[in-house]
Amino acid sequence: MRRTARRHVLLVVENVSLARDHRLRKQASSLHAAGYEVTVICRRDPGNALPGVRVLDYPAPPDGRSHLAFLREYGWSWLMAAALTWRVWLTRPFGVIQVSGTPDIYFTLAAPFRLFGVTVVQDQRDLSPEVYVARYGGAGGLVHRLLLACERTSFRLADRVVTVNETLRAVVTGRGGLPDEAVTVVGNGPRLERVTPAREPRPGGATCCWVGLMGPQDRLDLLVEALARLVHECGRTDVRAVLIGDGESRPDTEALVERLGLRDHVELTGWLDEAGVFTHLAAADVGLEPNMGPEVSPVKVMEYMASGLPFVAFDLRETRALGGDGGRYATPGDVAAFAAAIDELTRDPGLRARLGAAGQQRVRDHVAWEHQEAAYLRLFADLLPLRAPGVEVPA
């Protein structure tokens, strides 16, 4: 493993802005606070500024929905990120470059810098092959095999891989053939300051909330179908849902809401800034997570728990490992069971308060970023030792 005296870390994220990538914001802030010089390359956004961190951004390409549009979108982002990476190198060389997917194509951007002694870290959040199959099907096809090859190359080229849970760690060591010591698990919990005061039980109708980037893999179709069952079959006309976010699945979600007669019960707000999201979470009673990926550690669930919101989710390995007793779980893919869990929580303010308090305690004790960043900073202390006096890395 290469080591360098340069205490400059370059963080490059694929086709998303720093303003919308809360994991990257936490990583950059923690590295800066520990004494590293930090530069981020990402998509342009008015909210990209981060104290102490240099941000170089590029104009966002149009969002793609077809295969060809995705190629144009990610090709543009790769070219812009590559040009900015070389600009950084020529003006202020870095000792570590961390690239974040998906898809796993930025190993091609990072690889040349290994020739200059730069250490490469791969921050693996999602699995590109699984995301592709969730969107388009085609498991075992040409594109799926190509994504597996890119993923494997990304793992093997990196000096270290960071991932968000033990399931993904097993994928990295299995499909990538890496030893255990080459992979570090760093969760993606909210900061402790995000844990809000305890909620008081509120009688009457309840508001449900979903927050995120709307993609096919998020399975908003299952959520809307569950809400339709709740309203039309269970007669819960006192329940409403607010869906916060934007993305390629928003038009389909809006059409499904209309088709299922839920216009008066479901609001789609579009993308909101952090303050707007927190305002809605504070006013909500139940968080919703219809994700069907067993390897996913849903950020939504962490945010719900920090806000004191009990949640309804499908009973998946990493979702349950993350959420513990903070919510109710339905059999994966069972829309009727999902609707029944919403019905139970929205009828019982006391149960909501107990589950919400359990979720908040779990964030305080295990999930919060303050419990995760120590492992992240130890990794960088090994790769890029700090020489500055008086700087300590958490044990």
**Whether residue 354 has pLDDT greater than 90:** yes
**Whether residue 367 has pLDDT greater than 70:** yes
Instruction: Write out the E strands in the chain.
Output: 8-17, 37-43, 54-58, 96-100, 119-124, 160-163, 183-185, 207-211, 240-244, 266-270, 286-289, 311-314, 327-330
Region for 183 from its dihedrals, namely left if φ exceeds 0, alpha if ψ lies in -120 to 50, beta otherwise: beta
224 within 8 A of 256, measured Cβ to Cβ: yes
β-partners of residue 258 are: none
Domains of the chain and any CATH numbers? 8-189+369-383 (3.40.50.2000), 192-367 (3.40.50.2000)
**Residue 373: count of CB within 10 angstroms of its CB:** 22
| pLDDT for 204 | 64
With CA atoms as reference, report the closest residue to 352 among 227, 365, 360.
360
Give Dmax over CA atoms of the chain in angstroms. 66
β-partners of residue 56 are: 41
Cβ-Cβ contacts under 8 Å for 390 (sequence gap 6 or more)? none
* pTM beyond 0.95: no
**Of 61 and 84, the one with more pLDDT:** 84
Question: What average pLDDT does the chain have?
Answer: 90
Grouping H, G, I as helix, E, B as strand and the rest as coil, residue 173 is helix
**Whether residue 15 has pLDDT greater than 80:** no
Per cent of the chain over pLDDT 70 is: 93
Looking at residue 221, its amino acid is: D
264 within 8 A of 230, measured Cβ to Cβ: no
**Whether residue 393 has pLDDT greater than 70:** no
Cβ-Cβ contacts under 8 Å for 127 (sequence gap 6 or more)? 102, 151, 168, 171, 295
| pLDDT for 274 | 82
**pLDDT grade for 390, boundaries at 50, 70 and 90:** very low
Distance CA 101, CA 151 (A): 10
Cis bond before residue 108 (omega within 30° of 0): no
**Whether residue 64 has pLDDT greater than 70:** no
**Whether residue 60 has pLDDT greater than 90:** no
**Whether residue 228 has pLDDT greater than 60:** yes
Distance CA 197, CA 362 (A): 14
